[in-house]
C-alpha cells in the first residue's frame, strides 16, 4: 500500500502571516497533524528551516510528543539542525537543500557533491536510531551517491514532473526519469519516497513509477482543505492513491 505523509508547513505559514514572532496563533499545525492522522495519513512531515519562516521549534517538539504515526523532519545538513534532530529523535529525517530566498525547495540535494558531509551526518543520525532519507533529483549519479552515503531512503523530487504535467511529451520524459531512478534505487537497496508539487491531478500518473513507499504532500492538501476541510482533503488524496500497485 502506498503511504501518505502530510506536510503541514503551510498550516504554519498561514499562522505566521499574522502571528510571526509570537508564541501563539492560529491555525495550529499540531492540531492539523492530529486531524490528518485521524483521517488516515500514515505520517506527518515538517521542515524546520534555518530562518524559521513557518514551522517553529515548539511545533516540532509538540508533534514529537503527540502524533501516533511517523514524524518526518525535513532539514538542511547544518550543525544546529542536526543537533536539534539528535535531541528530538524523529522517526526519520529527510535532508534537503535550503536557500534563504527560495519560496519552497527548488530542487534536489547534490548528494554526489557532498558525500563526506552527508555520510558523517547520516552516521550520527543512524546511531541515534533515526532513519535518513535524501531528497534528490531523479538522476543516476544522485541515486548512486545516496547509496554510497548509506541512506536508508531517497525521496525523489517530483517538482519537474509536476511543473510539466500538462505537457504530454515532457511529462512522459519526467515519468521515465522517475521510473529509472526508482529501479536503480531498489537495485542499490534504497527505499523510495517521492514528493514536491504533487496534487490530485498528477498523483495518479505516478502509478507508472515502481517501488514507491510514501508520497509527501502538503500544499495541495492545505489548499483543498479551504473548500472541504483538512480531514476530507486527506481522505480524498488517499482515495486517489488507492490504485497504486508499485
Establish whether the linkage from the previous residue to 125 is cis, with ω within 30° of 0.
Answer: no
Can you tell me the mean pLDDT for 35-51? 97
Tell me what the pLDDT averaged over the chain comes to. 96
| Rounded distance between C-alpha atoms, residue 99 and residue 97, angstroms | 7
- Tell me what pLDDT residue 102 has: 47
| pLDDT > 60? residue 103 | no
**121 alpha-carbon distance from chain centroid:** 18
Q: Looking at residues 28-50, what average pLDDT do you find? A: 98
- Mean of the pLDDT values across residues 124-136? 98
**Does 15 score more than 80 pLDDT?**
yes
Q: Which of 10, 54, 196, 214 is catalytic?
A: 196
Q: Residue 99 has what pLDDT?
A: 67
Catalytic residue among 47, 98, 155, 157: 47
Residues 6+ apart with CB under 8 A from 79: none
Domain layout of the chain by residue ranges: 3-241
Phi, psi of 132 (to 5 degrees): -125, 130
Q: Is the pLDDT of residue 100 over 70?
A: no
pLDDT of residue 104: 53
> Over the stretch 64-97, which tens digit does the pLDDT of each residue have?
999 999 999 999 999 999 999 999 999 999 999 9
pLDDT tens by residue, 144-168: 999 999 999 999 999 999 999 999 9
Is 211 marked active-site? no
CATH number for domain 3-241, candidates 3.90.110.10, 3.40.50.620, 3.30.300.30, 3.20.20.70: 3.20.20.70
Q: Spot the catalytic one: 37, 42, 74, 155.
A: 74
Angle between helix axes 29-38 and 57-66 (nearest 10 degrees) is 30
Give yes or no: 54 in active site.
no
Catalytic annotation present for 196: yes
Where does the pLDDT of residue 98 fall: very low under 50, low under 70, confident under 90, or very high at 90 and above?
confident
- The pTM assigned to this predicted structure is 0.95
Query: What percent of the chain clears pLDDT 90, i.e. is strictly above it?
Result: 95
| Bridge partners, residue 191, by sequence | 153
Amino acid at each position: 500500500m502506498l503511504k501518505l505523509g502530510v506536510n503541514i508547513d503551510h498550516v504554519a505559514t498561514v499562522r505566521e502571516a499574522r502571528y510571526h514572532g509570537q508564541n501563539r496563533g492560529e491555525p495550529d499545525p499540531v492540531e492539523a497533524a492530529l486531524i490528518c492522522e485521524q483521517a488516515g495519513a500514515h505520517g506527518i512531515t515538517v521542515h524546520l528551516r534555518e530562518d524559521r519562516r513557518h514551522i517553529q521549534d515548539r511545533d516540532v517538539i509538540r508533534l514529537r510528543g503527540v502524533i501516533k504515526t511517523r514524524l518526518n523532519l525535513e532539514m538542511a545538513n547544518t550543525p544546529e539542525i542536526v543537533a536539534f534532530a539528535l535531541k528530538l529523535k524523529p522517526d526519520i529525517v529527510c535532508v534537503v537543500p535550503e536557500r534563504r530566498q527560495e519560496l519552497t525547495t527548488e530542487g534536489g540535494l547534490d548528494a554526489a557533491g557532498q558525500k563526506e558531509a552527508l555520510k558523517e551526518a547520516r552516521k550520527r543520525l543512524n546511531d541515534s536510531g533515526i532513519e535518513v532519507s535524501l531528497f534528490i533529483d531523479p538522476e543516476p549519479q544522485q541515486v548512486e551517491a545516496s547509496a554510497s552515503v548509506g541512506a536508508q531512503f531517497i525521496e525523489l523530487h517530483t517538482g519537474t514532473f509536476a511543473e510539466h504535467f500538462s505537457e504530454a511529451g515532457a511529462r512522459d520524459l519526467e515519468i521515465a526519469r522517475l521510473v529509472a531512478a526508482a529501479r536503480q534505487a531498489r537495485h542499490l537497496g534504497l527505499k523510495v519516497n517521492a514528493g514536491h508539487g504533487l496534487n490530485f491531478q498528477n498523483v495518479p500518473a505516478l502509478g507508472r513509477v515502481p517501488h514507491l513507499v510514501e508520497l509527501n504532500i502538503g500544499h495541495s492538501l492545505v489548499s483543498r482543505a479551504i473548500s472541504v476541510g483538512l480531514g476530507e482533503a486527506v481522505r480524498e488524496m488517499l482515495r486517489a492513491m488507492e490504485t497504486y500497485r508499485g
